[in-house]
Each structure stands twice: as structure tokens, then as C-alpha cells.
Amino acid sequence: MPHIVIEHSEDLPLLPQVLVDKVHQTTYESGLFELSTIKTRAIAYQHYQLGEGKDGFIYIAAYIMAGRTTIEKQDLSERLLNCLRTYCRESYSLSVNIYENNSDTYRKC
């Protein structure tokens, strides 16, 4: 666990695989997860509409197991947002949200 899902406009300022690599590494550097447990993927959108002055977007949804403190989740969120800021133009809409999976209902094989 975690699952890091990057949704983005098609015209990224860097290659999608580079973005996946950078976000994956940033997630690991948070110190919350073992490298072998992190799963990161990206989904490009061709059709979207943004607010005035924005010409692209990146949204990260980080799905983690419950049990981390609010401070740990805030730190992860801030790290991921800072990673995006490093590679994106100011005209990009950037956002991150941390979602908790419940161990009572989450399943994998």
C-alpha cells in the first residue's frame, strides 16, 4: 500500500513517466512506506475545463491505510505538492488529497 494516482492534463511540462518516478520517489522519501509497497500510476485527460488563468492540472490522490497521524498525512501531502511545484508552471492547477483505506473493507491479493 499506498496507491498513488496522478490525474493530469495531457500536456505536461515533463514526460509522464518522469512525473511518476518523481512522485514515487517523493512518496518513499516521506519515510512512511517501504519502497516495495508503493504503487504509482498516472492517468492523462484530453478533455477538461479549468478555472481562469489555468492551462493544465495535476491532481494526486494518495490512498493509504488508516493509522497515520494527521501530521504524517499533512507532511506527505505537502511533500507531494512541493514535488509538483518543482516541475510545473505557475499556470498549472496543482492539488493533492490523502485518502485512508479501512482495513476492514480493503482487500488485495
pLDDT tens sequence across 65-74:
999 999 999 9
Cell of 76: 506527505
pTM: predicted TM-score of the whole model, two decimal places = 0.94
Q: Are 84 and 46 in contact (CB under 8 A)?
A: no
pLDDT of residue 39: 98
Q: What residues of the chain score a pLDDT lower than 70?
A: none
pLDDT of residue 109: 86
Rg of the chain on CA atoms, in Å: 14
Which residues, 6 or more positions from 98, have their beta carbon under 8 angstroms from its beta carbon? 62, 64, 73, 76, 77
